[in-house]
Amino acid sequence: MTDRKDELAANLAKVERRIADACAAAGRARDEVTLIVVTKTYPASDVRILAELGVRHVAENRDQDAAPKAAACSDLPLTWHFVGQLQTNKVRSVVGYADMVQSVDRARLVTALSREAERQERELGCLIQVALDAGESGRGERGGVGPGGIEELGDLVAGAPGLRLAGLMTVAPLTGPYAGREQAAFERLMDLSTDLRRAHPAANMVSAGMSADLEQAVAAGATHVRVGTAVLGVRARLG
Ligand SMILES: *Cc1c(COP(=O)(O)O)cnc(C)c1O
């Protein structure tokens, strides 16, 4: 193995251990939690190594970075998640490679994604990004809709051709009542997921937890954790 492959294999093993321990501590089966590796700012060669090491889900947050990487890796058996703030002028590109958009947070974006998914004859899974630092009906610093906006947006996605409402996503807030209380934030997301599933039973994905707080997310009931740094290393620039 190359040095990089050794390094990624060792990091993946550590993250796998953490997820397995968190599942055991929570009385959950290991297969209830899916690891998504966030490959933003890292090259396509790393994505290829991750696929060789058994990773099946990767995530990106900037189309400029992601589009060429996804094209270079189109032969790999990967599911691509888009997790960044998404401008409508990038929708055409993103729908070209993403299987899932986790950052759906406004009606205009739903309309654009639906139109493009239909045009490209793709089915796109959508998660509503919930901002827990925004108040009931505000918008988050880093994207996302306040809890009061979930129902309307969920109904809109569920009725949009080409889109499939898959669930909810959040990032632990840095400000507001949940700052520094990751597990409470993720438990709130679970409650919101329970509400959403009353109307949309299949929308059962709960994407929460990153390198620093994946244990709290697993404890709260997350189905997907999004881990970058702990697998690939500290990013050289903001991403
Ligand atoms: C970068 C990013 C992650 C991964 O964060 P790490 O701290 O590197 O694990 C997860 N989710 C989103 C939305 C991100 O932008």
- From residue 142, alpha-carbon distances to 3, 24, 81, 172 in Å are 35, 32, 17, 11
- Alpha-carbon dihedral angle through residues 9, 235, 106, 79, given to the nearest 10 degrees: -20
In the chain, the N- to C-terminal Cα span, in Å, equals: 28
Q: What is the whole-number distance in angstroms between the Cα of residue 26 and the centre of ligand 1? A: 23
Q: Which of 38, 103, 104 to mutate for ligand 1's pocket (most ligand atoms within 8 Å of CB)?
A: 38
User: In angstroms, rounded to a whole number, what is the distance separating the alpha carbons of residues 237 and 239?
Assistant: 6
Structure tokens of 29?
């089966």
Q: What pLDDT is attached to residue 79?
A: 98
Of the pLDDT bands very low, low, confident and very high (cuts 50, 70, 90), residue 138 is confident
Write the pLDDT tens digit of every residue in 197-239: 999 999 999 999 999 999 999 999 999 999 999 999 999 865 4
Q: What pLDDT is attached to residue 1?
A: 73
Taking the CA of residue 210 as reference, the ligand 1 atom at the shortest distance is 9
Whether the CB-CB separation of 67 and 40 falls below 8 Å is answered with no
Has residue 47 got a pLDDT over 80? yes
Of the pLDDT bands very low, low, confident and very high (cuts 50, 70, 90), residue 71 is very high
Is 194 buried (19+), middle (13-18) or exposed (0-12) by CB count in 10 A? Answer: exposed
Which of 209, 226, 121, 197 has the alpha carbon at shortest distance from 172? 209
Write the pLDDT tens digit of every residue in 140-195: 878 999 999 999 999 999 999 999 999 999 999 999 999 999 999 999 999 999 99
Q: What is the whole-number distance in angstroms between the Cα of residue 41 and the centre of ligand 1? A: 11
Chain-centre distance of CA 64, in angstroms? 18
**pTM (two decimals):** 0.97
Other CB atoms within 10 A of residue 152 CB: 11
Average pLDDT over residues 124-137: 93
Q: What pLDDT is attached to residue 237?
A: 66
- Evaluate whether the domain defined by 2-232 bears CATH number 3.20.20.10: yes
Write the pLDDT tens digit of every residue in 102-130: 999 999 999 999 999 999 999 999 999 99
